[in-house]
């Protein structure tokens, strides 16, 4: 609870370009929830370097991502939108929490196993302790709710376990956060292989819709989307490609399952892909327009970055001081 409101924290990595999965699974829900909560939305650049990055590209992507948060509808006057690397409390709390997290817990994280398999030449310690930094992000702001996509479920559970363990030893230090998953869109799958989630790091550009893709590119990618060899448009786990297209349609238009399925009755897959593509274009076009204006407005963005980092640092320091005292670090002489 901060300033009379419950607190919300979430973040995204600036690795690769943001996908429709990131938008429908997370960002869109952030916008919905932002009026209700005191919000912190971070561009989590510390997490990004667990995989090798080109420094110039990382900086550019981070700025693009921060601008996308605003373009998607998050007001930087009301929400704290900032770079994780501008608030040293994240790394400091992460260190402390890593001393309250077990190797066994971290070895069970499926994301670590997946990433370690994908980057076998660079299984660094940061990749392993990644979920601890994520717990630090969340707990640093005494967060009540964390809106994320389904793939973050295990990390959120671990965050809760770490917080409960710490509170058990030292009293009520951390708020225990709850995850928030949207009704639709929590798991958007690849357009080329519906058994894999849509991901920024997919090598096949046709597998993902990027938020800044031009309308004709979006339409083309949907046209090429893989479907089954049947013709029926029904919403079932047995038809993962069609289910995914319907999920995207429902999440972008806000239309419910029954109504969505009814609207495609008697239509073929080509029509389904076309209408889903049109719905996505209509949803993304205003965001793209705002983003292109924002990114040109250097002074405005720099102002947002500076003032919001100060705000985040202020709240982060409060929790950090409390934690440092609890674990027994000497009080600073002023």
Q: Which long-range contacts (CB under 8 A, 24 or more apart) does 316-325 make?
A: 316/87, 316/89, 316/90, 316/93, 316/140, 316/141, 317/89, 319/89, 319/93, 319/139, 319/140, 319/141, 319/142, 319/174, 320/89, 320/92, 320/93, 320/140, 322/173, 323/93, 323/96, 323/173, 324/96
Q: Which is nearer to ligand TYM, 33 or 300 (CB)?
A: 33
Q: Which is nearer to ligand TYM, 146 or 194 (CB)?
A: 146
Q: Of the listed 28, 78, 183, 200, which one is catalytic?
A: 200
Residue holding tokens 């029509």? 271
Q: Of the listed 6, 78, 113, 197, which one is catalytic?
A: 197
Least gap, CB of 317 to ligand TYM (angstroms): 19
Least gap, CB of 198 to ligand TYM (angstroms): 4
Q: Are 11 and 41 in contact (CB under 8 A)?
A: yes
Q: CA 280 to CA 28: how far, in whole Å?
A: 13
Q: CA 291 to CA 293: how far, in whole Å?
A: 5
Q: Which is nearer to ligand TYM, 135 or 281 (CB)?
A: 135
The DSSP annotation for 154-209 comes to HHHHHHHHHHHHHHHHHSS-S---EEE--SS-SSPBPSS-TTSB--TT-S-GGG--
Least gap, CB of 44 to ligand TYM (angstroms): 4
Instruction: Indicate if 113 belongs to the active site.
Output: no
Instruction: Indicate if 273 belongs to the active site.
Output: no
Least gap, CB of 192 to ligand TYM (angstroms): 13
Q: Which is nearer to ligand TYM, 254 or 303 (CB)?
A: 254
Could you list the residues that contact ligand TYM (CB under 6 A)?
9-13, 21-22, 25-26, 44, 47, 134, 137-138, 146, 148-149, 151-152, 186-188, 197-198
Q: Which is nearer to ligand TYM, 47 or 239 (CB)?
A: 47
Least gap, CB of 267 to ligand TYM (angstroms): 25
Q: Of the listed 28, 78, 113, 115, which one is catalytic?
A: 115
Farthest CA pair distance, the chain: 75
Task: Report the b/e string of 20-48 with b at 16+ CB within 10 A.
Answer: bbbbbbbbbbbbebbeebbbbbbbbbbbb
Least gap, CB of 16 to ligand TYM (angstroms): 9
The residue whose Cβ lies closest to ligand TYM is: 25
| Measured CA angle at 169 (ends 164, 172), to 5 deg | 60
Q: Which is nearer to ligand TYM, 70 or 134 (CB)?
A: 134
Instruction: Indicate if 115 belongs to the active site.
Output: yes
Q: Which residues are catalytic?
A: 115, 197, 200
């Amino acid at each position: 609870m901060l300033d009379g409101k419950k607190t919300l924290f979430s973040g995204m990595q600036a690795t690769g370009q943001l996908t429709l999965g990131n938008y429908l699974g997370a960002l869109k829900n952030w916008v919905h929830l932002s009026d209700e909560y005191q919000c912190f939305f971070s561009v989590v650049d510390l997490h990004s370097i667990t995989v090798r990055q080109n420094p110039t590209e990382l900086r550019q992507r981070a700025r693009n991502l921060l601008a996308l948060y605003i373009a998607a509808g998050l007001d930087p006057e009301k929400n704290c939108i900032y770079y994780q690397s501008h608030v040293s409390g994240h790394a400091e709390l992460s260190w402390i929490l890593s001393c309250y997290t077990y190797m066994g817990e971290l070895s069970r994280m499926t994301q670590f196993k997946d990433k370690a398999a994908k980057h076998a030449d660079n299984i660094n310690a940061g990749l392993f302790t990644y979920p601890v930094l994520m717990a630090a992000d969340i707990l640093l702001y005494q967060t009540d709710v964390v809106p994320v996509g389904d793939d973050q479920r295990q990390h959120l559970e671990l965050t809760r376990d770490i917080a409960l363990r710490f509170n058990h030893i030292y009293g009520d230090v951390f708020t225990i956060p709850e995850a928030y998953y949207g009704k639709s869109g929590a798991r958007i799958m690849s357009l080329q292989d519906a058994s894999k989630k849509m991901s920024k790091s997919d090598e096949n550009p046709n597998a993902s819709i990027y938020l800044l893709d031009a309308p004709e590119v979006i339409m083309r990618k949907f046209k090429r989307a893989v479907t089954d060899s049947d013709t029926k448009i029904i919403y079932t786990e047995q038809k993962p490609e069609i289910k995914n297209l319907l999920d995207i349609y429902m999440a972008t238009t806000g239309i419910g399952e029954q109504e969505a399925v009814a609207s495609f009755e008697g239509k073929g897959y080509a029509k389904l892909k076309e209408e889903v593509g049109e719905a996505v274009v209509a949803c993304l076009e205003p965001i793209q327009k705002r983003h292109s204006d924002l990114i040109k407005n250097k002074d405005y963005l720099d102002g947002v970055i500076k003032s919001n980092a100060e705000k985040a640092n202020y709240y982060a320091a409060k929790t950090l001081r409390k934690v440092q005292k609890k674990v027994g670090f000497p009080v600073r002489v002023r």
